[in-house]
Amino acid sequence: MKSLTATRFLIYDNCSKDIKAEVTMTSVLVITAEYPTNDGKISRMFIHVRNKYYLNNDIEVSVVNFDSKKDYELDGIKVFCPKSYAEEHKDKKYDILISHASNLRNNYIFLKKYGSNFNRFIFFFHGHEVLKLSKEYPIPYDYTNKNSPVKRKLRDSYDWLKFKIWHGYYKKNAYKSDFVFVSNWLLEKFKYYIKLNKTDLKNHVHIINNSVGEIFETNSYNIEAEKKYDFITIRSYMDDSKYCVDLVCALAKRYPDYKFLIIGKGKYFDYNEQPKNVEWVNRFLFHEEMLNYINESRCGLLLTREDTQGVMTCELSAYGIPVITSDIDVCREICNDLPNVRLISNNPDKVDLNKVYHEITADVLKGKIYRPKKYSYDNTVKKEVELIKALK
């Protein structure tokens, strides 16, 4: 089957019929361990957000979802299961292979089997795939049973193996690869753990932040809406200790006059007391569903112990609601020039929440909101589109 690179669309002048321009489409295959589905699963929605932008900018996008057992289509994007790709699609020629958050079990095996079919690679790095989890990630909550000595030793052994394997693979294939990191913080961690620098990677290194969801750009925080909550915390998985539900609850107990809303699915409150001033929505939300809750809130509270960018913080900031997040290295890099974001300590005893809350909501109370464009399409995904088209 011919690549879409070979498909040409000719534009003619109505009078002379002379050829005025020749346009070619770029085709990419995206591989990922998980991907959103039509039945409500939202895993790795940040990849789908990118892919929709690509599609709208004359880039043909197909996806191999290693977690899927069947093929499906989502928003015009064809998604293949591994079996279908191997049996029906492996001979199709694509201009570029894009690998997100590459792991050994899925992405590496795929690359070893089919990598020679592709002339160009783009590797997107998001976090866990280049980090030593026992060092960079916070200690898991006790009830998750993820921090036993045996499990910790197994994680460390796996991390050592992934560092060694990816070091060799990236260095060997750097000549036909580009490496995209969502923050400088993550690039520095990559250099430390994978033991490769920009020179080793043929200087094919790019810092391109994750974009905010389109809905947060095209809509704006409604300051006129009735406010039911002082703080809103949105986390897909509450049981991950890096999302600091315990710290949110600690602040709620210290400040009982404030109303807190926590949105996220998990078992945290099966094992921990739910403060009386905390309302909990125990489910996943699509972007569209989030807006009503955000408009009913005065301030976002998105604390984190570890992150590579903090996309939800960027999204709420772009939407216009004031946001409070954690004073850690990556948040200082990402949020240092966002006027409606404040950083606080992850130690509740060192936080004057009254002071921060009144400072950050003061302008909104006067009818003025900020909508930073730092993580808009033009500053993020547009750069990816330009990179993809330049590599064709």
pLDDT in tens, the chain (392 residues): 333 333 333 333 343 444 334 457 899 999 999 999 998 777 888 899 899 999 999 999 999 999 999 999 999 999 999 999 999 999 999 999 999 999 999 999 999 999 999 999 999 999 999 999 999 999 999 999 888 889 899 999 999 999 999 999 999 999 999 999 999 999 999 999 999 999 999 999 999 999 998 899 999 999 999 999 999 999 988 999 999 999 999 999 999 999 999 999 999 999 999 999 999 999 888 778 899 999 999 999 999 999 999 999 999 999 999 999 999 999 999 999 999 999 999 999 999 999 999 999 999 999 999 999 999 999 999 999 999 999 97
Report how many helices (DSSP H) and strands (DSSP E) the chain contains, helices first. Answer: 14, 16
**CA quadruple 144, 149, 154, 156: dihedral, nearest 10:** 100
The pLDDT assigned to 372 comes to 96
What are the domain boundaries of the chain? 4-211+378-391, 214-365
**What three-state secondary structure class fits 37?**
coil
Q: Residue 23 has what pLDDT?
A: 54
**What pLDDT was estimated at residue 289?**
87
**Residues written for the chain:** 392
Tens digits of residue pLDDT in 94-136 = 999 999 999 999 999 999 999 999 999 999 999 999 999 999 9
For domain 214-365, give the fold: Rossmann fold (3.40.50)
Q: pTM for the whole thing?
A: 0.89
Q: Identical fold at 4-211+378-391 and 214-365? A: yes
Q: Where are the beta strands (DSSP E) in 33-176?
A: 59-65, 72-74, 77-80, 96-100, 121-125
**What integer pLDDT is reported at residue 204 of this predicted model?**
97
Token pair for 156? 């460390």
Cβ within 8 Å of residue 84, ≥6 positions away = 70, 71
pLDDT the model gives residue 227: 97
Q: Name the helix (H) or strand (E) containing 381.
A: helix 381-391
Tell me what pLDDT residue 12 has. 33
**Going edge to edge, which strands form the sheet with 205-207?**
72-74, 77-80, 59-65, 26-32, 96-100, 121-125, 177-181, 205-207
Angle between helix 149-172 and helix 184-194 axes, rounded to 10 deg: 90
- For domain 4-211+378-391, the CATH architecture is 3-Layer(aba) Sandwich (3.40)
DSSP letter for 303, please: -
> What is the spatial distance between Cα 121 and Cα 110, in angstroms, rounded to a whole number?
13
The mean predicted confidence, pLDDT, of the chain is 92
Token output for 43? 């895993």
